[in-house]
Amino acid sequence: MIRFEDIQEQVLSYMPDADMELLRRAYVFSAMEHRGQVRSSGEPYLTHPLEVAQILAELRLDLTCVIAGLLHDVIEDTLTTREVLEEYFGKDIAHLVEGLSKISRIAFTSREEAQAENFRKMMLAMVDDIRVILVKLADRLHNMRTLEHLSPRQQQRIARETMEIYAPIANRLGMGKIKSELEDISLAYLDPEGYASLVSALEERRKISDDFITEIRTTLETKLQEQGIRCDITGRVKHLYSIYKKLRVQGIDVGQVYDYLAFRILTPTVKDCYAALGTIHSIWRPVPGRIKDFIAMPKPNMYQSLHTSVMSEKGQPFEVQIRTPEMHGIAEEGIAAHWKYKEGKKVKAGEDPNIQWLRQIMEWQQELRDPRDFLKMVKVELYPEEVYAFTPQGQVKSFPRGATPVDFAYSIHSEVGHHCLGARVNGKLVPLKTPLHNGDIVEILTNPAHRPSQDWLSFVVTSRARSKIRQWLNTDRRSSSIQLGKSLVERELKRFHISAKILHGDGKLTEALNSLGFPSLDDYYAAVAYGKVSVKQLVGHLVPETDWKEPTESKITTVVKKALGLSGAAVKVRGLDDVMVYLAKCCGPIRGEPIVGYITRGKGVSVHSQRCPNVERLLYDPERKIEVAWAGSKETKFQVRLNITSEDRQGVLARVTSAIADEKSNISDVSAKTFEGKQGQIILTLDISDLDHLERIVKRLRGIQGVHQVERQSG
Ligand code: MN
């Protein structure tokens, strides 16, 4: 069993002047807090934090990390609070331990790969100190090493979580050694048979492998020395999971895997790395497509190395990795290699101009005195463009920065998006355009009657939401266009006394539509509504013009009857379902005055007053004219603006307003001003029930002493 002294010794080996008193206090504190607790293995619980601290010390991490390792479970598993930790050990350590407890509360449950990806990113996005992740990985590593003591169900769950979340995170941070160990242990639990057969197959070949390794290594050493290249060569069987994956991907049997052996050459300089590569290719034939230069182009996780696969004399392929000792440190420990105790001395890894990522971090580090700021920069570098939010059921979803509840709604289902009425973020109602933040819990409120709005397009950021909203708006417009076009066509047919049956018939119709370039009758209707094609064009194909009867102009059917006038808002028309009708803004007709309907392109029927100057211009296309009539409730009020000129006499305004009150009209807006020459102007906005009402009011106003002129204003 591990002892505290082991950790102490390890820490002193690389931090001779570290605060041992603080480390000891953390140990005693952890021992007190976990007193009496026992692990599933039967060991005292304390062994776990000790082992975790030891792993962190082996990575040569700073004292804060090692102490956080000792204390990592105290908030989660004992009665200790963050405040107590802060009082005893300071802000930094308390912050790390709190971050760890936060992470452990996220339960990964889904089997979807995309979910795993989101969980990984979420975890990284949630912590503001990358050391939280380093301690968490050490914690998980020790738990995996002791997984045998748990129940089979727990083993499955933890192994899967490790494979899908923690190993990729270790990989993302460049910590190759921990990643490989996590993967291999997980594999042993996730596919025990596959694991066992792989182990035994490799065991069977062990003798051959060992001989092969010795032989190749000897050749390599000799040849490289001849070239004056100093080097350190190791040969090994690749880690199990990487071989396992290869078998799976290529669908082959273990007997067919040849390049399960890999050699690693460490050589002092980058120049030597390339020289060694040349030498190797002069001895063995390289396998095409397998040469990779990660020195010139490092992986995103900072990994650098040259890779090649070559064919031995006996036809056995093997892989060779070539790198400098510094690159090796990064390959094994990744970000941890740069988070080592380094008081008073600078890390030398920035020397190679090709290590861009690292160089940048080094630069930041020089600019930023506070290591916490440095870590924030590292974090920002990881995933700057994304934001993660939860469903109330705990599913994580990833979005581009700036995403809103509407984006969230559409990511669930397009129906949820279409009927999205509002959103609760972390239990609070927010406007639909509120940007989401990491860790937000988003609940979407829907109403089946609610519809997408054009306005949404101005703030959604996901292409899914954008295209679904567009699609909906287009379909909506299209269906009203089809309705409108259909009624137009039927009306025209009636005018020429042609039976509408010709539209529901035989091959002749399809033929006619095809020749006009329409895939279906609906497409044709829509085109008619948009004014792209005339009714005659189709009818001409179906009925010879000689058979056409004289049109009857007199009997235009009244098609549109509706309670027009809900202050200009579009309203639906009875008898012509789903056609939108609205009062034209240019003239604002009111009940009782003669009106004209005009079929617009794709926006329904606009209703103008016959006196409107636009009517003549709009109706150059007689096919688009449609008869409309006032219908519906008399309760509806229309807004009318009156422009009154008067003598600027005290009391005119008072008499005007009282006359209007007498006529039971409401004034919704009024402005009055005086011009030179004592002329006054009053502009009133009134609620009017119909034309009679308006005429009565105008007549009374004209009778008021001092009033010169009363005019109705358009627009
Ligand atoms: Mn733990």
Nearest alpha carbon to residue 563 among 551, 576, 550, 572: 572
pLDDT in the model for residue 491: 75
Spacing, Cα 77 to ligand 1 middle (Å)? 9
Q: Return the half-sphere exposure (C-beta side, CA atoms, 13 A cut-off) of residue 271.
A: 4
Amino acid at 708: H
Do 529 and 481 form a contact (C-beta atoms < 8 A)? yes
644 token code pair: 């009154």
Other C-beta atoms within 10 Å of 652: how many?
A: 19
Regions in the chain scoring below 70 on pLDDT: 105-115, 117-128, 254-258, 300, 338-385, 505-507, 531, 545, 548-580, 601-603, 618-623, 631-635, 649-650, 676-677, 714-715
Spacing, Cα 104 to ligand 1 middle (Å)? 9
Amino acid at 254: V
450 token code pair: 């609610």
pLDDT in the model for residue 24: 96
Chain centroid offset of residue 707 CA: 64
Q: Return the half-sphere exposure (C-beta side, CA atoms, 13 A cut-off) of residue 644.
A: 32
CA–CA dist 378, 368 (Å, integer)? 12
pLDDT in tens, 118-148: 666 666 666 667 788 889 999 999 999 999 9
264 token code pair: 């690693």
CA–CA dist 110, 169 (Å, integer)? 17
Do 138 and 69 form a contact (C-beta atoms < 8 A)? yes
CA distances from 71 to 30, 128, 407 (A): 6, 19, 40
pLDDT in tens, 319-369: 999 999 989 988 888 777 765 544 333 333 333 332 344 444 444 444 444
Other C-beta atoms within 10 Å of 377: how many?
A: 17
CA–CA dist 557, 566 (Å, integer)? 24
Spacing, Cα 48 to ligand 1 middle (Å)? 7
pLDDT in the model for residue 255: 64
Q: What does DSSP assign to residue 151?
A: -
Spacing, Cα 159 to ligand 1 middle (Å)? 15
Spacing, Cα 105 to ligand 1 middle (Å)? 12
CA–CA dist 703, 435 (Å, integer)? 59
Residue recorded with tokens 């008619």 = 528
- Contacts of residue 654, Cβ cutoff 8 Å, sequence gap at least 6: none
pLDDT in the model for residue 174: 77
Other C-beta atoms within 10 Å of 135: how many?
A: 29
What average pLDDT does the structure give for the chain? Answer: 80
Do 440 and 389 form a contact (C-beta atoms < 8 A)? yes
**What are the two backbone dihedrals, phi and then psi, of residue 267, each rounded to the nearest 5 degrees?**
-140, 145
Spacing, Cα 285 to ligand 1 middle (Å)? 49
Q: What does DSSP assign to residue 369?
A: -
pLDDT in the model for residue 557: 33
CA–CA dist 359, 570 (Å, integer)? 62
| Helix/strand/coil percent split, the chain, to 5 | 50, 15, 30
Secondary structure tally for the chain: helices H, strands E: 28, 22
Spacing, Cα 64 to ligand 1 middle (Å)? 16
CA–CA dist 165, 115 (Å, integer)? 10
Q: What does DSSP assign to residue 574?
A: B
Do 610 and 594 form a contact (C-beta atoms < 8 A)? yes
CA–CA dist 22, 19 (Å, integer)? 6
What are the catalytic residues? 76-77
Do 26 and 67 form a contact (C-beta atoms < 8 A)? yes
**What are the two backbone dihedrals, phi and then psi, of residue 95, each rounded to the nearest 5 degrees?**
-65, -45
Spacing, Cα 222 to ligand 1 middle (Å)? 48
CA–CA dist 423, 427 (Å, integer)? 9
DSSP 3-state assignment of 370?
coil
Amino acid at 657: T
239 token code pair: 């880690």
> What angle (nearest 5°) sits at the alpha carbon of residue 302, between those of residues 296 and 306?
40
Radius of gyration of the chain (CA): 40
Residue recorded with tokens 């009708």 = 581
Spacing, Cα 139 to ligand 1 middle (Å)? 5
**What are the two backbone dihedrals, phi and then psi, of residue 102, each rounded to the nearest 5 degrees?**
-60, -45
Chain centroid offset of residue 145 CA: 36
Residue recorded with tokens 């617009």 = 600
Amino acid at 707: V
Characterise 560 by phi-psi region: left (phi > 0), alpha (psi -120 to 50), beta (else).
beta
